[in-house]
Chains A and B, each alone.
Chain A
Amino acid sequence: MNETVGKPIDRVDGKLKVTGGATYSAEFNIKNMVHGVAVTSEITKGRIQNINTGIAEKSPGVVGVMTYKNSMQLHSPQTSSPGAGKFAEKDLLPLQNDRVFYDGQIIAVVMAETLEQAEHAATLVKVNYQREEPVFDLEKNIEKAYEAASASTGAETQTKRGNATESLKTASQKIEQTYTTPVYHHNAMEPHATIALWQGETVLLYDATQSVAGTQGLMSSMLGVPKEKVRVVSYYLGGGFGSKGFSWPNTVLAAMAAKLVSRPVKLVLTRQQQFTTAGRRSQTIQKISLGADQSGKLSAIKHASTVESSFVDEFVETAGVATSMIYSSQNVEVSHKLVRLNKVTPCPMRAPGEAPGTYALEVAMDELAYQSKIDPLQLRLINYADQEEQKKKKFSSKYLKECYQKGAEMIGWSKRNPQPGSMKEGKYLVGYGMATATYPANRSASSAKATLFADGHAEILCATQDIGTGTYTIMTQTAADAFGLPIEKVTVKLGDSEFPKGANSGGSQVTASVGPAIRAASMGAVSKLVKLAIGDGKSPLHGQKEADITAQNGRLSLKTKPDQGEDYTQILVRQGLQKIEAQAATKVSTRQQTEANPAAGGSEEQIEEESKSNPVVQEDEKTDRKPYVFHSFGVQFVKVLVDPDLGMVHVDKAVAVMDVGTIMNLKTAKSQIMGGMIFGIGMALLEETNYDPNRGRPVTKDLANYLVPVHADMPDIEVEFINKPDMLISPIGARGVGEIGITGITAAINNAIYHATGKRVRELPVTPDKLL
C-alpha cells in the first residue's frame, strides 16, 4: 500500500534547513570548547627538521599546539572499506612522525579560545624542512605506471573477454583516441568539520561524515577505545560527494586535540585546506580503441586508463568500470594503471570511475558514429546490451531503450541537422549531443529500529545519514507507508552511531539498503500490534487471522470489512503499553566488497535474531539474486550554443531520462539527477584543479578560482523517470539516484560542442581557449 512513496513531497527537514534550525556538525556550541586550526606543510616532500611552537603557544588565547612531538600515538586502522570505516591515507596517520608526503599536509593543530586567536597563532608556528625531490606530474611520470590490483570501491580494475587487440586489426571502422580529465575537487558547501568531546574514556564526535557507523568503528580502532565508547553524530550534512566517505585527518585530529588539551575541540578545514587534505578525483588519461563493422556493430572495445595514486595509500579512479558492460561486444579489454605522486590520495567523487569513464567512452562512441555515418543514438541501439556480457548475467531490470526513445522526443533529436556546424541561432552555433548514463545499483546490509508509541506516532532509528539528498524525507515516506500512518506521524532519526547500523552514504546505496530495513522493522512493529489485537478479547479483531487484517491511517481493520477494526492507540492503551517496537536487519548485498559493514550501536545479535522471525526480511533475503547484476541506466541529451569567435559555450537545454527503479519521491529524485547534471556541466566546461608545475601545490584552490557552475550557466533542465520497480534489488523496488546524473552528461555536452562546431576537444574542461 503506497500512500506517500513516489509523491513529490517537500523535504521534512526543509524548514529547519532554510531557517537555520538544522544543526550541522560544526554548529554545536559545547561548553568550554576551544577552536582548532590546522597548520599545513609548505613543501611537497621531505621531513620536518624543526617545528617551533613556542611563539604560537604564547600567543593570546592559545591553549595548546599539537604536533607529531606531543600528539597521542594512533593505532593502525583495522577496517578499510567506506562502510566499515576507511581512513583516507593508511600510511599517513596524522601527526605521527616528521614525514611530509605532499604540499598542504597537516603538520600541526593550534587550539585557542577563539577561532581568530587560533588562526593567528597557526601562522606563528615556524617550520624548517629537509626537502626531498618530489614527483607530482602524472604525464611526466607515466613510465612509472603500474598495474592497479584492486579498487577500494570494489570495482574490478582489469577485465577482459575475447581478444580486442586482435579484433581491432581487422575492424572496418576504428577509433583510437586519448581523452583526459583533470583533477577535480568535491567542494561540498559544508567543509570537513569535527567537534570532539571526551567524557572520561568516552568520546563523542560531531563529524561531517558519510558514514557514522564506519567512523565509529574506525575511530575506535585508531584511538584504541572500545567501540561502545565512541559515538559519532552527523545529523545534517551539507554535501559530501564522496569526500566525506573516507575519514580525513580532521576527525581523528579533533579527538586527539581534545584529549591533549582536556577540552572539547572544534576543527574545521578551510576551503584551501580541503584542496590538499581531504581527497580529490584523480586526473585521468584514458586511451579508448573502438572497432566496428560497416553496420556499426562493435567488434572490439579497449579502455586503458592511467590515473594517480599517492605514496601513502592507493585509490583507483576506475574510469573503465562501465566499459565492460555498457555495450554488447565480444572483445573487450579494460585496464587501469596507477602512478604514485606526492599529492593527497584521490578518493571517491560522485560516480567514481563512471563520471570520467562515460565521458571518454561516450565521446569515442560519438566519434565512431560520425565516422561511420550512423546516427549516434542508432549506434547505441545497434550495440544494445540485453545482458551483462562480462559476468554473463541478466540485468535485474533494464529499460534503457525506453529512456533513449523518450529523451530523443524531449530534445527533438530527429529534428536536428546532424551535419556538424550546420545549425545556427543568431550568432551562435547550435549543437545537439547525447550519451548513455549508467551507474551500478548498490545495496548493502542495513538495520533499523521502528517504534510505535501509544499516542499514535512512530519513530525510526537508523545509523545511516542524510548527506543532503533527502534521505530523511524518503525514509519518512517509507516508514509511513509501512506503518500505515500519515507522514506527519512519523519521525525518522538518523546520523547517530548509537542507532542500529545503516549503510554508508556512498555508491548511491542508501535508499536501496536502508529502505528495506526500515520497511521491515516498521511492518514488524505493525505485525506485533496485529498479534496483540488478535489475542485481545476486547479487540474487535480478536481471533481474526493476521493475513486478513490491514493497517491503514493508524487503524487496524479487516480487509473485507473495513468497519471492523480499531486505532493503533486504542490497542496500546488498553494493553497498558507505552510503545511497541521492532528491529530488522537485512543482509542483502549487491556489492563486490568483501569487508562486511560494521555492527553499529544497539545489540546486533538481538536484531539479527529478531529478523529471523520477520517474514518481510525473510522474503527479501530469500530472493535469488545470483543470476542478476544490478545497474541503473539512462540517457542524457543536451543542446548547446557556442559563440564561434569567442569560444564560449552555453548549455541551453539538458534532458535526462533515467531508469532507476521505483521513484521514492519525485521531487528529491529530480533534484538529485539535476544536481548530477549540473555537476557534469562543471566537469565538462569549468572545473579543474591546477597545480603549480614547478612545485605540485594547487594554485586554484578556492571558489573564485575553482569554477563550479553558477545560476547563469544553468540550462533549462528536464528530468523524466521510467519509474518501473526493480523488485529483484529489494521489496521497495528503488535503486539509488545520487550519482547516475553525472554520468554521460559530460560526454553529451562534448558531443554537442562537436556537432555545433566540428571541433573535437578531448581534454576537459572545454574552456574558450580550446575552441578558438
Chain B
Amino acid sequence: MEPFKLVRAQNNASAIAASNSKETKFIAGGTNIIDLMKLYVEKPKQLVDVTSLNLKQIETQPDGSVKIGALVKNSDLAYHPVIKQKYPFLSEALLSGASAQLRNMASVGGNLLQRTRCYYFYDTAFPCNKREPGSGCPAISGYNRIHAVLGTSDKCIATSPSDMCVPMAALGAMIQVEGPAGSRKIPFADFHRLPGDTPQIDTNLKQGELITAVILPSLPFAAKSHYLKVRDRASYEFALTSAAVALDISNGKINNSRIALGGVGTKPWRSFAAEKVLNGAAANTQTYRAAAEAAMAGAKPHKYNAFKVELAKRTIVRALETVGGMV
C-alpha cells in the first residue's frame, strides 16, 4: 500500500481536527479500507484511528428511537436484544453479511461508508470513474452480473453492497455527524448519493465530518419485519438481490409498510413506489406482486444482470409474504 501516517484520535474533536484534508480517512474496523489500500484503490496519506472514541453505546431514547454509536460492532448490533425485538430485519441483515470474523471487526459507521464491490473498481488495471473520475466505466459494456439496475448513470453502475443499510433505509434512519462546522443529522435517504456524473463521491458527508451515531426511529410495526437475501452461495457473499420489508397489517389490510432493496441499486434503495402500492391494499400475493412491479419499474438492466429485475421482484414478494404470514 501507499505509505501513510496513522494518528490515533482520543476524542471526537481531535479526530475531526485531524481529518483536515481530502487525503485523510477515518479508520475503525478497517474491514474495507485496508483491502482497498492494499490494492491501491484507496491511497490516503493519513489514517485517523477512531476506535478509542466513546461511540460504542446502543441506547433507547425517551421518544422510543434507538441511538446506535458509530463504533458499535456489526455483531454486537445484530445480537442486541432491543434490535432483535424492535427491528428484527436489521439483525437479520447484519447476520447475513460477511463472516463472523468480519462482523466482529466492522463498525456501524464504517458499514455506512462501505464502498462498492464492483470488480473494475477493485482492479487498478481497469479504468473506473469511481476510482479515477473521467477514466471510463468498463462495467457498462463488460461483465456486469453483480451490478446495479436502479439508480445507475452512464458513468457508473456499481452496486451499493451493504446489507445493514437496507433495513436502515427502510426505517428512514437518521445519521448523526459531527464536523468542523458543528453537528447535524442527515436523513438516511440523503446520506448516500446516486452516481450521476460524480460517481467518485459516495456520500454527502463533508470533509472532516465524523459519523457519531445512527438513530433508528420508533416504528412499532418494524417488529414484524424481514430481510431476505438471495445469493449464489449460502453465506459470505454479497446479495444478488435483497429486500428489507416491514408490514403493519390488520384485518387483512396493509395499514403501513416499509420496503428497501439491496443488490440492485447504486445506493441503499428505499422504494416509496412499492410502499404506495402496499399502503391501504389487501395483504395478499397479488398486492405484493404489484408492489414488486412498482419497485422495479425504472430498472435498467445490462447484459449480464438482466435476471436481477425478475429476481428482485420475486425477492420482494417472498419477503412480503413472509412478513404477511407472521402472526
CA distance A686 to B231 in the complex (A): 10
Kindly state whether residue B40 has any CB partner on chain A within 8 Å.
yes
- How far does the alpha carbon of A768 sit from the alpha carbon of B307 in the complex, in Å? 9
B119 engages A699 (CB within 8 Å): yes
B230 and A690 form a contact (CB under 8 A): no
Chain B residues, Cβ within 8 Å of A646: 230, 311, 314-315, 318
CA distance A306 to B123 in the complex (A): 30
Q: Name the residue on B nearest A59 (C-beta).
A: B3
Stretch at the interface among B6-14, B78-86, B135-143, B247-255: B135-143
Whether A123 touches B40, Cβ cut-off 8 Å, given contacts A646-B318, A690-B145, A699-B120, is yes
Look across to chain A and name the residue whose beta carbon is closest to the beta carbon of B306: A769
Whether the Cβ atoms of B237 and A707 lie closer than 8 Å is yes
**B window 293-327: CB within 8 A of A:** 307-308, 310-311, 314-315, 317-318
Cβ-closest chain A residue relative to B40: A123
5 residue pairs A–B, Cβ–Cβ below 8 Å: A650-B234, A686-B232, A700-B143, A704-B238, A768-B232
Query: Which of B146, B235, B240, B317 is within 8 Å of A768, CB to CB?
Result: B240
List residues of B (251-266) whose CB comes within 8 Å of A's CBs.
Answer: none
| Contact call B311/A42, Cβ cutoff below 8 A | no
What 1/0 mask marks residues of chain A from 101 to 120 whose CB sits below 8 Å from any chain B CB?
Answer: 00100000000000010011
B1 on interface, CB distance cutoff 8 Å: yes
Chain B residues near A769: list those with CB within 8 A: 240, 307-308, 311
Interface size on B, residues (CB 8 A): 36
Q: Which residue from chain B places its CB closest to the CB of A705 in the assembled complex?
A: B119
Chain A residues, Cβ within 8 Å of B3: 120
Interface residues of A in 633-657 (CB under 8 A from B): 645-648, 650
**B56 interface residue per 8 A CB criterion:** no
A125 to nearest B CB, angstroms? 13
Closest B residue to A702 by CB, please name it: B122
Contacts of A272 in B (CB 8 A): 123
What residues on A are CB-neighbors of B126 within 8 Å? Answer: 692, 695, 697
Interface residues on A, range: 35 or more
How many Å from the CB of B81 to the closest CB on chain A? 25
Closest-CB distance, A344 to chain B (whole angstroms): 15
Assess the A710–B233 pair: CB atoms within 8 A: yes
B233 contacts A713, C-beta separation under 8 Å: yes
Q: Specify which of B125, B126, B138, B146 lies most central, judged by the most chain A CB atoms within 10 Å of its CB.
A: B125
Q: How far is the CB of B213 from chain A (nearest CB, A)?
A: 29
Q: Is the CB of A645 within 8 A of B138?
A: no
Query: Counting CB contacts under 8 A, is B197 at the interface?
Result: no
Using an 8 Å CB-CB cutoff, how does the interface string of B1-35 with A read, 1 for contact, 0 for none?
Answer: 11100000000000000000000000000000000
Partner of B143 from the list A116, A691, A704, A772 (CB cut-off 8 Å) is: A691
A659 to chain B, nearest CB (A): 32
Q: Which 10 A-B pairs have the closest CB atoms?
A: A712-B234, A769-B307, A699-B119, A712-B235, A42-B125, A713-B234, A690-B143, A645-B314, A710-B235, A692-B142
Contact A772 B307, beta carbon cutoff 8 Å: yes
A694 within 8 A of partner (CB): yes
What is the minimal beta-carbon distance from A423 to any residue of chain B, in angstroms? 21
| CA of A193 to CA of B146, assembled, Å | 32
- Among A120, A705, A711, contact of B1 (Cβ-Cβ < 8 Å): A120
Q: How far is the CA of A650 from the CA of B315 in the complex (A)?
A: 17
Smallest CB gap from A767: residue in B:
B232
Which parts of A665-708 form the interface with B (CB within 8 Å)? 685-686, 690-695, 697, 699-702, 704-705, 707
B117 at the interface (CB under 8 A from A): yes
Residues of A within 8 A of B1 (CB): 116, 119-120
A residues near B, CB below 8 A? 42, 103, 116, 119-120, 123, 272, 645-648, 650, 685-686, 690-695, 697, 699-702, 704-705, 707, 709-713, 765, 767-769, 772
Question: In the complex, what distance in Å separates the CA atom of A119 from the CA atom of B39?
Answer: 10
Residues of B within 8 Å of A768, CB to CB, are 230-232, 240, 307, 311
Complex-state Cα separation, A695 to B127, whole angstroms: 12
Given A695-B142, A712-B236, A768-B230, 11 more pairs with CB closer than 8 A: A119-B38, A645-B317, A647-B230, A686-B232, A692-B126, A692-B143, A702-B122, A704-B238, A705-B117, A768-B232, A768-B307
Give the docked Cα–Cα distance between A704 and B98 (Å).
10
A166 to B315 Cα, complex, angstroms: 50
- Known contacts A120-B2, A694-B138, A699-B120, A772 near B314 by CB under 8 Å: yes
Chain A residues with Cβ below 8 Å from B317 are 645
**Which residue of chain B lies nearest to A770 when distances are taken between CB atoms in the complex?**
B307
Given A647-B311, A691-B143, A692-B142; A704-B232 close (CB under 8 Å): no
Cβ–Cβ < 8 Å partners of B119 in chain A: 699-701, 705
Q: Do B232 and A772 touch (CB < 8 A)?
A: no
Interface centre among A42, A123, A699, A768 (most CB of B within 10 A): A699
Contact indicator A699/B230 (Cβ below 8 Å): no
Judging by beta carbons under 8 Å apart, are A697 and B125 in contact? yes
Contacts of A700 in B (CB 8 A): 119, 143
Chain B residues whose C-beta falls within 8 Å of the C-beta of A685 in the assembled complex: 232-233
Contacts of B122 in A (CB 8 A): 702
CB contacts (< 8 Å) of A709 on chain B: these are 233
| CA gap between A691 and B123 in the complex, in Å | 13
Which chain B positions have C-beta within 8 A of A695? 126, 138, 142
Which residues on the B side are within 8 Å of A705 (C-beta)?
Answer: 117, 119, 146
Q: Which residues of A contact B143 (CB under 8 A)?
A: 690-693, 699-700
- Within the complex, the shortest CB–CB distance from A65 to chain B, in Å, comes to 18
A647, B315: Cα distance in complex, Å: 11
Q: What CA separation (Å) do A103 and B146 show in the bound complex?
A: 22
Separation in Å of the A78 CB from the closest CB of chain B? 35
Q: Is the CB of A645 within 8 A of B318?
A: yes
- Distance of A686 Cα from B308 Cα, bound (Å): 17
Q: Is the CB of A711 within 8 A of B235?
A: yes
Structural contact, B310 and A772, CB atoms closer than 8 A: yes
CB distance from A127 to the nearest CB of B (A): 11
Q: From residue B320, how far is it (CB to closest CB) to chain A in Å?
A: 12
Residues of B contacting A767 in the complex (Cβ-Cβ under 8 angstroms):
232
CA distance A772 to B318 in the complex (A): 14
Q: B121: shortest Cβ distance to chain A, in Å?
A: 11
